[in-house]
Amino acid sequence: MKECIVNVIGAGLAGSEAALFLADHGVKVCLFEMKPKAKTPAHKLDGFCELVCSNSLKSEDVETASGLLKAELLKLGSKILKVAKECSVPAGGSLSVDRYKFSETVTKLIKENPNIKVCECTIEELNLTEPTIVATGPLTDEKLMNNLKKYIGGSNCYFYDAIAPIVTLDSVDMSRAFWANRYNKGDGEGDYLNLPMNKEEYTNFYNELVNAKTVELKEFERVFEGCMPIEVMAKRGFEAMRFGPMKPVGLYDKAGEKPYAVVQLRKENEAGTMLNIVGFQTNLTFGEQKRVFGLIPALKNAEFIRYGVMHRNSFVNAPLCLNSCSQLKEYPNIFIAGQLSGVEGYVESIGSGLVSAINMYRYINKKNLMPLPSTTCMGGILNYIANSAPPFNFQPMNSNYGVISCNKEFKDKRQKRKYIYENSMNEIDNYLHKCFLVENKSKKI
């Protein structure tokens, strides 16, 4: 019998997870990646699994949807999430990573795997006769996207995503800043550097922000709510930022007073020398970013390592073309994984890559596909985008309790979330056994 080779296009979070899973289970993989020969405007690193936006993978608390999702993926054996935990930086109850160390570690894992052949090139057309996982992400090459549109029908969807600026720790005025976590959660002095503002300072900042010059967008349709530029949020009302990324709740300044508003900075690297301005995704021109964000007292002389930018994000209309295993309905050799499939978020992309790889393995071995139960968070997301989302107004979906099926009624929210977590862990165990991922430990799956 001829040896089966699976193509994985894209070495981001989903593609890297998919390639590693298949390779670790005896499948030969051709991993196609355009970098370092070609990069999109949002990419800076040469390696795989580059985090182009925030370095945060959100909460690890299993009573949150994002924490539940991480627990599910770790139980399923996610390699990428395991690396993320190894490359973590202090961030309170969240999982944030040193993006450089993270990329380097994943790249090394992939290049040292004997079952993975890395091909540095840009794929412009799909070969429908070969089993392929397309995980090219939200910045998919235009030619490939146009080729894909031939098979999925209709026009592709897109939105614009924004990236927050990064500043150096040394350039922050520490006399106007303090380390703390909200409500003093965690150990030590705190994982976030907080920049308090009084009402006068906030008002001045607000007035300049809403009138600042932005980069003109072409073909603009809409901004995804999860990555809304700070200036767009500000234009929704004077108090909008104070109920968003600048909310002062659970924080007190050096004098023990509650600030009127707070800007939080989060460590970008293990050494903590680079800091991300949390929630400050922006489309302001670079000059305006330096001027307007410099009105935050502690950032008066800030050194910007990276300014915020916006970029176009592509994704397919999942309800029309995908099943709940992320396989194209009309072309079974092709699976779509990651943000291109219509999931939103880092961990969601990792999970999408993993589930696609599990089902690709089953597909090439002529076994029935196995969608994750919708009583799990990852299964709920994939079921939603394939079967429940409105096809004519489709928006990407991230982890949330609304997509998780629950057959019991609860008056107490914490009790419900505890039940969902425990039930999800049982469902994952059952799924692993049904997929014979664990029952015959002496054999590959």
Return the higher-pLDDT residue of 306 and 63: 63
Q: Identify whether 33 is part of a domain.
A: yes
Question: What pLDDT is stored for residue 302 in this prediction?
Answer: 94
The reply to whether 109 and 142 lie within a common domain is: yes
Q: What is the CATH number of the domain that holds 254?
A: 2.40.30
153 and 215 in a single domain? The answer is: no
318-343: string of b/e by CB count within 10 Å (b at 16+)? bbebbbbbbbbeeeebbbbbbbbbbb
Per-residue confidence (pLDDT) for residue 390, from 0 to 100:
80
pLDDT cut 90: percent of the chain above it: 68
pTM of the model as a whole: 0.77
Region class of 165: left (phi > 0), else alpha (psi between -120 and 50), else beta: beta
264 φ/ψ sector (left φ>0, alpha ψ -120 to 50, else beta): beta
Picking from 255, 287, 308, the residue at the C-terminal end of a domain is 308
State pLDDT tens for residues 34-70: 998 888 777 788 999 999 878 899 999 999 999 999 9
Whether 445 maps to a domain, the answer reads: no
* Domain containing residue 419: 5-159+313-434
Domain boundary (308, 327, 353) is at 308
Q: Are residues 214 and 327 in the same domain?
A: no
pLDDT at residue 441 tops 70: no
pLDDT surpassing 50 at residue 219 = no
**440 in any annotated domain:** no
Residues 35 and 64 placed together within one structural domain of the fold: yes
3-state secondary structure of 310: strand
Cβ atoms of residues 192 and 278 within 8 Å = yes
**Shared-domain flag, residues 293 and 208:** yes
Answer whether residue 156 shows pLDDT above 70. no
Domain presence at residue 187: yes
Residue finishing a domain among 308, 343, 370: 308
Decide: 107 and 115 in contact? Cβ < 8 Å: no
126-146 confidence digits (pLDDT tens):
999 999 999 999 888 889 988
Residue 69: both structure tokens together:
């999702």
Q: Which of 132, 126, 123 is nearest to 333 (CA)?
A: 132
Flag whether pLDDT at 239 surpasses 60: yes
Q: Which residue did the predictor score with more confidence, 311 or 96?
A: 96
The C-alpha atoms of residue 135 and residue 340 are separated, in whole angstroms, by 7
361: pLDDT strictly greater than 60 = yes
Q: Provide the H-helix boundaries in 130-174.
A: 142-152
Residue 340 in domain = yes
Instruction: Specify the CATH number for the domain of residue 342.
Output: 3.50.50.60
Question: CB of 103 within 8 A of CB of 50?
Answer: yes
Measure the CA–CA gap between 152 and 159, rounded to whole angstroms: 18
Domain count, the chain: 2
pLDDT reported for residue 221: 40
φ, ψ dihedrals at 275, nearest 5°? -130, 135
pLDDT at residue 436 above 80? no
pLDDT digits (tens, 9 = 90+) for 264-296: 999 887 778 889 999 999 999 999 999 999 999
Between 153 and 373, whose confidence is greater? Answer: 373
CA angle 248, 254, 259 (to 5 degrees): 25
Please check the confidence at residue 1 and state whether its pLDDT lies above 90: no
Q: Does residue 341 sit in the same domain as residue 204? A: no
